[in-house]
Amino acid sequence: MDGPRTSDEDIFAFFTRDEVRLVEALAGRIFPDDELGPGAAAAGVVRYIDRALSGAERDRQLVYRHALKRIDGISRHRHGRPLAACVAVDQDALVGDLAAGMLPEFDGALSAGAFFEMLRAHVIEGMFSDPAHGGNRDFAGWKLLGFWGPVPSYSHEEQQLDATIKRDRFYSAADYPLPAKDGS
């Protein structure tokens, strides 16, 4: 008898499922979808943040865990539901208050405004970093910028200041694997 199957997309190293929904909602209000393309939620920024918090930035785990709990608690108090279940206007109001540092009930290691700045920095990093790090799904951020990634080489014409560079595909750090320690 087979149990439920999960994909890599369903597995997070640090965030709980509820935290994933909350961070996606927050990131989606900081960098929303618009006519230019997908925003942070669609670009998988939450996966980038999860990887950062389970790796190089693990010292921020407790700050995130506490802040996310406080944000959802404030949302439940104000709107009777978790932030991820709120309508966009209610999400925007709470995120605006977070950014302005106007959540007196936010008591944490960081102020509301300081946590917002850390989250905002992570959203931007996840939106525009190399997809090998977990965010920028389908090169969404790079497409917004017209950046083709670390391409293998540029022609003489492409190196001119006024050159328009068009490629047939995007490149990622994953296209250039590092050699194994044994040199292979």
Smallest Cα–Cα separation from 41: which of 57, 54, 26? 26
Domain boundaries, the chain: 10-147
Please, which residues have CB within 8 angstroms of residue 18's CB and are 6 or more apart in sequence?
72, 82, 84
Whole-number Å distance between alpha carbons of 88 and 15: 23
Token pair in block for residue 43 = 């670009």
DSSP 14-50: S--HHHHHHHHHHHHHHS--BTTB--TTTTTHHHHHH
Q: How far apart are CA 99 and CA 97, in angstroms?
A: 5
For residue range 41-82, list pLDDT tens digits in order: 999 999 999 999 999 999 999 999 999 999 999 999 999 999
pLDDT tens for the 184 residues of the chain, in order: 444 434 455 789 999 999 999 999 999 999 999 999 999 999 999 999 999 999 999 999 999 999 999 999 999 999 999 999 999 999 999 999 999 999 888 887 789 999 999 999 999 999 999 999 999 999 999 999 988 888 777 788 888 898 887 778 888 888 887 777 776 5
Cβ 52 vs Cβ 145: under 8 Å: no
> Could you tell me the pTM of the whole model?
0.85
